[in-house]
Amino acid sequence: MIWNEQKECMSRDEIAALQSARLVKVVNRVYHNVEYYRKKMQAVGLEPGDIKGIEDLHKLPFTTYEDLRDTYPFGLAAVPRSELVRAHASSGTTGKPKIAVYTRHDIEIWAECFTRCLSMAGITKEDIIQIGYGYGLFTGGLGAHYGAENLGAMVLPMSTGNTQKLIDMMIDCDVTAIACTPSYLLHVAEDLEKAGLVDKVKLKTAICGAEPWTDEMRDQMESRLHIKAHDIYGLTEMMGPGVACDCEFHKGLHIWEDHFLPEIIDPKTYEQLPAGTDGELVVTNLTKEGMPLIRYRTKDLTSLEYDKCDCGRTMARIQRFKGRTDDMLIIRGVNVFPSQVEAALLTVEGTTPHYMIIVDRIDNNDTLEVQVEVAEDAFTDEIRSLEKLSKTIHDKLKLAIGLNAKIKLVEPNGLDHSDGKTKHFIDKRKLYQ
Amino acid sequence: MRIKQVSIFLENTEGRLDEVLKILAQGNVMLRSVSLADTMEYGVLRMIAEEPEKAKQLLKDAGFAARIDEILAVEVPDAVGSLAKVVAMIHEAGINIGYIYGLSIDGDGAPIAIKTDDNAKAEALLEAAGVKTIGMENL
């Protein structure tokens, strides 16, 4: 089902014309309303008049995580405070989160984008959908919620943390669709199988995102639960989930190019790369009012395809993600940077600055272990004081990254730190193909 | 009297204990007693050695977190209920016991190592009650 055929199936010429007109407008808005952007443009000798269309996109400076950090919390807002109706946040590399702010119109556009994705997955107003993303500062819960309500489906706002209740209600309420992380859905599938309840479930469709996943995981979900599973992409900085989604042909994720202008760059030379070439995905907000970002570097590695899809949509398709250009880990849908872990450990007396993060996926559950060297002078002959140290580390990490980590104390010099730039994490999961 | 105990932090990895004991054997350190307190992830190995300072240095040189603590060594009479009496005395004085283990050294009764949060007070208390304590020279 195509929710907004007029937009989703525009000709490439029409898309380019619309994007050019919108790019000119948004560049004018940030130049005149955001001092930070004005200075950034002035620093490279750019005026809004220099940007006449998408062919001039490459002249504009990039926006990075560091820009968000420097302007935290509202320095990139392009409208007066009274026009803003919501803020969301996701993890930053240290301390402060990345914040995104929205006007009422932004929330409507977000709902429209998410609705298009649900519709693409075949979900309609006849469906009953469970939202299994966290509701709160994380964009997943509310983003999916507004999209599903906009579609007219009936929403069960489950949020996270209670799988038993999710399963009970899935069966009792004849739930037909679910939005959650792919690893969580596989975990649910496992619980259903163990309880012998798969046949009692009416689930037809899943729309999964917030972490990268593979075709192998799709095959598993589809065969074990007898459903169709779709991949949805988004990031808080640009809006939240619903920036792109894959259709029934699974030839990449259609990105809503009337609202988001995508490009692929070489992360080393910053040159734009042609269709089909792998590089870093960079996205420009074309319609966002609250905090439009220009050429935001997503750090996600992928490529773009522009040929018309068999589903009839003309919007470009983001190909499978190949990895990241930074060291961000996505654990149970939560973004985690090793630097956050490091900063938290520095506040715990009795540990050394040496640590190792080990991420794995066991029975479709992401596991997080943090190995920490005990400082020589912090070692005592009593187990209880070591247990206390371990608990303190656990609690500090929980505060910093919002996840429960298994803490493993190791001997002084027990971790390899022969090289100052030693990698601080091992990810044993197979997330990228 | 009190005796010196050497303890080290030990990861629960294969062969780690073996390594420690080899280091001490090669250094010609005579061990009198050992006690291993273990958790899922790690353990604390406590040792009574004839030359505790030498043992600690050998282990530190090998990269272990090693330390020396004073513990009470008590000669508990070889009769039913003697240990209960000793522990009760310490407990009633408001002193906490961290851990306790048997010592494998010769004596009149059953030698026991006790770590308390106030060894001096506990020692005075026990000696006043006629309980014999053991010093390094008795090892």
What are A221's two structure tokens? Answer: 């979900």
Q: Which pTM was predicted? A: 0.79
Whether the CB-CB separation of B72 and B115 falls below 8 Å is answered with: yes
In order of A55, A60, A360, A406, the CA distances from A364 in angstroms are: 44, 42, 9, 17
Query: Which pLDDT score is estimated for A374?
Result: 86
Specify the CATH number for B2-69; select among 3.30.420.40, 3.30.2130.10, 3.10.180.10, 1.10.20.10.
3.30.2130.10
Sorted by where each starts, the structural domains of chain A and their CATH numbers stand as 5-325 (3.40.50.12780), 331-427 (3.30.300.30)
Q: How far is A186 from chain B (nearest CA, A)?
A: 29
CB A39: neighbour CB atoms within 10 A? Answer: 9
Whether the CB-CB separation of A393 and A372 falls below 8 Å is answered with: yes
Q: Find the CB nearest B115 among A381, A387, A412.
A: A381
Q: What is the rounded CA–CA span in Å between residue A390 and residue A379?
A: 12
Question: Class assignment of domain B70-138?
Answer: alpha beta
pLDDT, tens digit, 9 for 90 and up, residues A277-295: 999 999 999 999 999 999 9
Beta bridge partners of A279: A302
Residue A53 has pLDDT above 60, yes or no: yes
Residue in chain A lying closest to B35 (CA)? A381
Per-residue pLDDT band at A255 (split at 50, 70, 90): very high
Per-residue pLDDT band at A422 (split at 50, 70, 90): low
Q: How far is A369 from chain B (nearest CA, A)?
A: 12
Short-list A346, A354, A331, CA closest to A412? A354
Looking at residue A153, the DSSP 8-state letter turns out to be P
pLDDT, tens digit, 9 for 90 and up, residues A334-387: 889 888 888 888 888 888 778 899 999 988 889 999 999 888 888 889 999 899
Q: Do A409 and B41 touch (CB under 8 A)?
A: yes
Per-window interface: A 406-425 vs B, CB < 8 A: 408-414
pLDDT, tens digit, 9 for 90 and up, residues A3-47: 999 999 999 999 999 999 999 999 999 999 999 999 999 999 999
Short-list A21, A83, A6, A98, CA closest to A53? A21
Strand pairing class (A177-180; A128-131): parallel
From chain B, the residues in CB contact with A410 under 8 A are 11, 42
CA angle A202, A204, A210 (to 5 degrees): 120
Q: How far is B62 from chain A (nearest CA, A)?
A: 11
Average pLDDT (B11-20) is: 89
Short-list A92, A141, A97, A85, CA closest to A291? A85
Boundaries of every domain in chain B: 2-69, 70-138
Side-chain-facing half-sphere of A82: CA atoms under 13 Å: 0
Q: What percent of chain B has pLDDT over 90?
A: 71
Short-list A55, A65, A64, CA closest to A23? A55
Computed over every residue of chain A, the mean pLDDT equals 93
- Rounded to 5 degrees, what are φ and ψ at A328? -70, 135
CA angle A341, A345, A349 (to 5 degrees): 175
In order of A339, A376, A400, A419, B110, the CA distances from A345 in angstroms are: 10, 16, 10, 20, 45
What are A19's two structure tokens? Answer: 């994007």
Residue A93 has pLDDT above 80, yes or no: no
Q: What is the rounded CA–CA span in Å between residue A244 and residue A253?
A: 5
CB A416: neighbour CB atoms within 10 A? Answer: 10
Q: Find the CB nearest B65 among A376, A382, A384.
A: A376
Residue A419 has pLDDT above 90, yes or no: no
Q: What is the rounded CA–CA span in Å between residue A293 and residue A369?
A: 35
Instruction: Give residue for tokens 């949509």.
Output: A313
Query: Which pLDDT score is estimated for A263?
Result: 98
Greater confidence (B65 vs A172) lies with A172
CB B32: neighbour CB atoms within 10 A? Answer: 15
Residues contacting A343, CB < 8 A, separation 6+: A94, A95, A400
Query: Which pLDDT score is estimated for A246?
Result: 96
Q: Is A217 helix (H, G, I), strand (E, B) or coil?
A: helix
Query: Which pLDDT score is estimated for A418?
Result: 60
Query: Which pLDDT score is estimated for B58?
Result: 96
Q: Find the CB nearest B41 among A384, A408, A413.
A: A408
- Rounded to 5 degrees, what are φ and ψ at A263? -150, 160
Three-class secondary structure assignment of B92-124: HCCCCEEEEEECCCCCCCEEEEEEECCHHHHHH
Q: What is the ipTM of this complex?
A: 0.83
From chain A, the residues in CB contact with B7 under 8 A are 381
